[in-house]
């Protein structure tokens, strides 16, 4: 007898691997309401080690104070969170700015629980080029050293927002699978932040995963993308490389609808354009509406229902929701 959406959703391990919305820690409640097992707050952006350390410290304080949360250092921690009805917290860097020019900071942040680091955030840095940079150079000498140290420290290499050649170099030089935590298929919608079929195949061939993202500018040209358009990216990538390589990195953030009013959202948008972290080619102006039905993490059950309607099997939904990332975590962090 086929399982209902509610049964699948309640029994699956569900991981959202990119959660900048959690800059506001109170919004953990929205993820818990949506049935998420593990969430990944972005604890490092474009600030150096001093600011980032304070952010990481604030999460450790919260983890100490709340019995319903636990820090994820291994795949087993996520399974334990599911069994105990807790929420696992995966600490994630969107860019390498927190490590400054010090390889030893990789080990320091890993010791504090940071398990994943992106190599770039749209623009050039000391490691290599971002995906919106005018050049497409590969990894620098320092970038190669960072890859080696991340492998040694068992920190996951994430090539979201990263340039094509830098990503290919990371795949070539990393001794562990390289992931893209959040990017959609360029052949479904040609945003500069999305990735080509060739890149999807390269990540899958190295044993990695690609997380489907809900930011509207990466889903479709529509101001309010549909849940079907979001699933178009999942379906395309699954057809290309199989369901075992696709995950969720939905990327809810604090200046989207309904979490920010239009004025606050536009102020943030103009600031991101001014400092070149965003470009209007990839990031349309706000308000930003995530796919209809899953506008916030509170209603994630709607995605399970829509995937079933689309013809996805329960076992494949479970892979996409959590089992594929658990495989990565076991491989790199340990069981």
Q: For position 48, what pLDDT does the model report?
A: 97
194-206: average pLDDT: 98
pLDDT per position as a tens digit, 299-321: 999 999 999 999 999 999 999 99
pLDDT for 2 beyond 90: no
β-bridge partners, 247: 211
Between strands 87-89 and 69-71, the pairing is: parallel
Run of H or E including 121 = none
* Average pLDDT for 31-41: 98
As a whole number, the mean pLDDT across the chain is: 97
Q: Which strands, in side-by-side order, build the sheet including 42-44?
A: 42-44, 91-93, 114-118, 156-158, 178-179
Q: What is the pLDDT of residues 70-88, one digit of tens each?
A: 999 999 999 999 999 999 9
Residue 13 has pLDDT above 90, yes or no: yes
**For the segment 263-301, what is each residue's pLDDT rounded down to a tens digit?**
999 999 999 999 999 999 999 999 999 999 999 999 999
Mean pLDDT, to the nearest integer, of 234-249? 98
Q: Which top CATH class is 5-332?
A: alpha beta
| Confidence check: pLDDT of 147 > 80 | yes
Q: How far apart are CA 285 and CA 51, in angstroms?
A: 28
Domain map (residue ranges) of the chain:
5-332
Question: How confident is the model at residue 1, as a pLDDT?
Answer: 66
Answer yes or no: are the C-beta atoms of 125 and 97 closer than 8 Å. Answer: yes
CA 60/CA 47 separation, integer angstroms: 19
Question: Cβ distance 176 to 332 under 8 Å?
Answer: yes
Range 153-163 average pLDDT: 97
What is the model's pLDDT at position 25? 98
The reported pLDDT for the residue numbered 282 is 94
| Average pLDDT over every residue of 58-67 | 98
What Rg value do the Cα atoms of the chain yield, rounded? 18
| pLDDT given for residue 335 in this prediction | 81
Give me 245's structure tokens.
């390589």
Task: Please answer whether residues 43 and 55 qualify as being in contact, where contact means their C-beta atoms are separated by less than 8 angstroms.
Answer: yes
Digit-coded pLDDT (tens) for 22-34: 999 999 999 999 9
């Amino acid at each position: 007898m086929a399982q209902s959406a509610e049964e699948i959703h309640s029994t699956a391990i569900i991981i959202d691997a990119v959660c900048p919305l959690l800059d506001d820690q109170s919004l953990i409640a929205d993820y818990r309401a949506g049935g998420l097992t593990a969430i990944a707050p972005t604890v490092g952006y474009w600030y150096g080690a001093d600011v980032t350390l304070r952010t990481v410290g604030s999460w450790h304080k919260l983890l100490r104070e709340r019995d319903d949360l636990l820090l994820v250092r291994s795949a087993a921690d996520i399974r334990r969170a599911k069994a105990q009805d807790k929420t696992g917290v995966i600490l994630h860097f969107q860019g390498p700015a927190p490590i400054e020019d010090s390889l030893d900071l990789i080990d320091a942040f890993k010791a504090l629980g940071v398990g994943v680091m992106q190599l770039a955030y749209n623009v050039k840095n000391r490691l290599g080029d971002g995906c919106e940079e005018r050049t497409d150079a590969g990894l620098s000498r320092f970038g190669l050293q960072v890859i080696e140290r991340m492998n040694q420290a068992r920190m996951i290499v994430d090539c979201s927002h990263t340039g094509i050649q830098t990503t290919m170099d990371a795949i070539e030089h990393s001794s562990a699978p390289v992931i893209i935590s959040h990017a959609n298929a360029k052949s479904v919608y040609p945003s500069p932040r999305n990735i080509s079929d060739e890149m999807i195949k390269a990540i899958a061939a190295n044993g990695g995963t690609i997380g489907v993202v809900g930011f509207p500018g990466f889903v479709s040209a529509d101001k309010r993308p549909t849940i079907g358009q979001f699933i178009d990216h999942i379906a395309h990538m699954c057809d290309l490389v199989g369901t075992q390589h696709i995950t969720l990195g939905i990327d809810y953030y604090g200046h989207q609808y309904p979490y920010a009013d239009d004025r606050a959202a536009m102020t943030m948008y103009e600031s991101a354009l001014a400092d070149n972290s965003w470009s209007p080619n990839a990031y349309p102006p706000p308000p930003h509406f995530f796919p209809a039905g899953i506008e916030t993490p509170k209603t994630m059950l709607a995605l399970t229902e829509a995937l079933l309607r689309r013809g996805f099997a329960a076992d494949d939904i479970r892979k996409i929701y959590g089992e594929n990332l658990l495989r990565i975590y076991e491989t790199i962090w340990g069981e």
